[in-house]
Chains A and B, each alone.
Chain A
Amino acid sequence: MTESSERTVQLEVENINLRFGGVMALDGLGFTVRKGEIFSIIGPNGAGKTSMLNCISGRYHPQRGSISFEGQDVTRLTPAARARLGIARTFQNIALFKGMSVLDNILIGRHTHLKSGLFRGGFYLGPCRKEEIEHRRFVEDIVDFLEIEHIRKRVVGTLAYGLQKRVELARALALDPKLILLDEPMAGMNLEETEDMVRFILDINQERGITVILVEHDMGVVMDISDRLVVLNFGEKIGEGTPEEVQQNPEVVKAYLGGEASVFLGR
């Protein structure tokens, strides 16, 4: 956590304006995320956190401003093109392929890495089979890592909520991303599941070296694991810095918490 200021910039968000009709969802928002850090976006409900993630992942296109990823301007790219560059994400409301098995869901994450097209797939001869096995190995590695071996053949729609959240994380990891956007990964989880998820996020960040952008309401978790964070309110940035700096920021405390700094300490 200490050396984060020396790391190179991976994602640069500049002066983003996003409007829906008359509603200003994001207003002149800008920040930088450095390679290998855990960067959190926090703010009250409706502050624009998920909108910001949607701008980075390419689902929304901001009216003004630019986003560059590893030096390349991605502001106008489609979500699929950004996935190929190495940006993966999970959703606040689970967005899995409900009719497919856990393994197939995760294998979709390998889509951009697989090469067999229609004909090789349809005839399923040597190269295609070899490729499937090779990527299956990659997927099984993630399955082991997230401890979902016991459900790998189950149809996703029949799984418990906490497990579905984990499968969604697995699918994002299968993309072999450089940057992963997590939209409220702990929402609706009990204490044990939250602790598991925190462990997974730390491992993703430290062992796999993936940069993490986290949107989360659980302040205890955010303050514990974030290297730096940005605070939004009504689409505007009201604070940025390390957890310690943000907790000292009087404007953040006022807007976000209504006065009491102790709330930041979490449970």
Chain B
Amino acid sequence: MSVAHCGDFRQSYKDDMKVLETRFVRVSVGAFLVLLYVFPLFMSNYATSTMTTIGIAVIGALGINIVTGFTGQISLGQGAFMGVGAFACSYFMRILHMPFWIAMPAAGLTTAAVGMVFGLPSARLKGLYLAIATLAAQFILQYLFIHMEAVTGGSNGIPSPPPEIGSFAFDGDRSKYYLTITIAVLAVLFTTNLVRSRDGRAFIAVRDHYLSAEIMGIHLFKYRLLSFAVSAFYAGVAGSLWGMYTGYISAEHFTIAESINYLAMIIIGGLGSVLGSIFGAIFMTLLPQALTVGTGALAQTFPKIGFLIMSFKDGVFGLIVILFLIFEPDGLAHRWRQIKAYWKLFPFSY
């Protein structure tokens, strides 16, 4: 039937549709998953908690990649949508006394509804104009975070109670990590499947050529709105987990800077790529931390100019991001594919 490169003979369409094609890849991914789960047993609490933030960032980045990378609508509201999720989850748990396991999906759905409201301009607007409309979402929501004091606690913020199973509370670094990473793995699976099935393909079609997508029977507005809803759902879940992670939610975290951070993640990782969302989330979480450690060490070595070195941190961060965009414009996922292609034919490169 179909012969792929390197004499990889597939016998059925089912074989051909596999995400993990060879045994080697399946074993490696399995080993990686095992590693993810035993990781906190050997690492410090600091490393575990950093991994938790990466897990949350992966979920958020997958979300914005669905609306921006796959459907082609720039969203500048992901940070605020995460805030909606965090506050909603806390509200459901504290006031409505829902357990976390119901409150989190409910917060996701609430955020999805909010995302759809702010996705309504996509009926008429495209490209940069739509981006500005989502920017409006960011600022309107930020305003509400400060002023809806009954729900959000205003500028003081509110506590976010930990999830519980029976008498066991998820309040340690490890338990938070396990919960986050499990949901992140599920989110990766869901997204991977979504983009290889009907609705995911429709998203990409709307991005690549909306006129012919419509001619092929795709309801444009429905899919534009749906992409906003799905994206916001991810943000809502990520926000709920963020609330669990910090234990206390304040509006200060969900600013335009956070939204741009998420946009930067998927641009650096790779637009329209599940793997890119993961790479971008890791990169944008670890780089500032690495810089903090690096500049801190330098400042200790050269105490006289220590202050100066510390103040360069943000500048260096920006510089590295810009260099990445210049030399890796298609994202880290593209580089990863090239590395894989190189090793596929190794050692015979022709």
Contact = CB atoms under 8 A, between A and B. Distances in A.
A124 B193 contact: yes
B17 A171 contact: no
A129 interface: yes
A-B residue pairs, 6 tightest by C-beta:
A121-B197, A83-B217, A97-B208, A124-B193, A112-B217, A95-B212
Interface residues of A, number: 45
B60 interface: no
Nearest to B200: A121
Interface in B161-203: 190-191, 193-194, 196-202
B41 to A, nearest CB: 30
A153 interface: yes
Interface of B: 2, 4, 13-14, 16-17, 190-191, 193-194, 196-202, 204-205, 207-209, 211-220, 226, 230, 272
A188 interface: no
Contacts of B219: 78, 80
B216 A59 contact: no
A133 B208 contact: no
Given A121-B199, A124-B197, A133-B13, A108 B213 contact: yes
A133 B205 CA distance: 20
A168 to B, nearest CB: 8
Nearest to A83: B217
Contacts, number: 114
B204 A100 contact: yes
Given A121-B198, A122-B193, A59 B207 contact: no
A122 B217 contact: no
B273 to A, nearest CB: 11
B25 to A, nearest CB: 17
A123 B212 contact: no
A196 B118 CA distance: 49
Contact of A108 (B201, B211, B220): B201
Nearest to A121: B197
B205 A97 contact: yes
Contacts of B215: 57-59, 79-80, 83, 88-89, 95
Contacts of B198: 111, 114-117, 121
Nearest to B198: A114
A208 interface: no
Interface of A: 57-59, 78-80, 83-84, 88-89, 91, 95-100, 104, 107-109, 111-112, 114-118, 120-124, 128-129, 132-133, 136-137, 140, 149, 152-153, 171, 175
A10 B4 CA distance: 43
Contact of A118 (B209, B213, B226): B226
A233 B216 CA distance: 30
Given A96-B208, A99-B208, A124-B196, 10 more contacts: A79-B215, A80-B214, A95-B209, A97-B204, A116-B199, A120-B197, A121-B194, A122-B193, A152-B2, A153-B4
14 contacts: A57-B215, A80-B215, A80-B220, A89-B215, A98-B209, A100-B205, A107-B201, A108-B201, A109-B216, A114-B198, A116-B198, A121-B200, A122-B197, A123-B190
A136 B13 contact: yes
B340 to A, nearest CB: 15
A104 B204 contact: yes
Contacts of B214: 59, 78-80
Contacts of B2: 149, 152
Nearest to A136: B13
Given A97-B209, A132-B197, A122 B218 contact: no
A204 B4 CA distance: 29
Contact of B202 (A96, A111, A153): A111
Nearest to A110: B198
Nearest to A118: B199
A97 B200 CA distance: 13
Contacts of A100: 201, 204-205, 208
Contacts of B199: 116-118, 121
A122 B233 CA distance: 14
A257 to B, nearest CB: 33
Nearest to B230: A118
A52 to B, nearest CB: 15
Contacts of A137: 13
B13 to A, nearest CB: 5
Contact of B216 (A99, A117, A136, A175): A175
B197 A133 contact: no
Nearest to A89: B215
Residue with the highest number of chain A CB atoms closer than 10 Å, among B201, B214, B215: B215
A100 B226 CA distance: 20
B193 A123 contact: yes
B330 to A, nearest CB: 11
The CB with the most chain A CB atoms within 10 A, among B14, B190, B214, B216, is that of B216
B306 to A, nearest CB: 48
Nearest to B229: A118
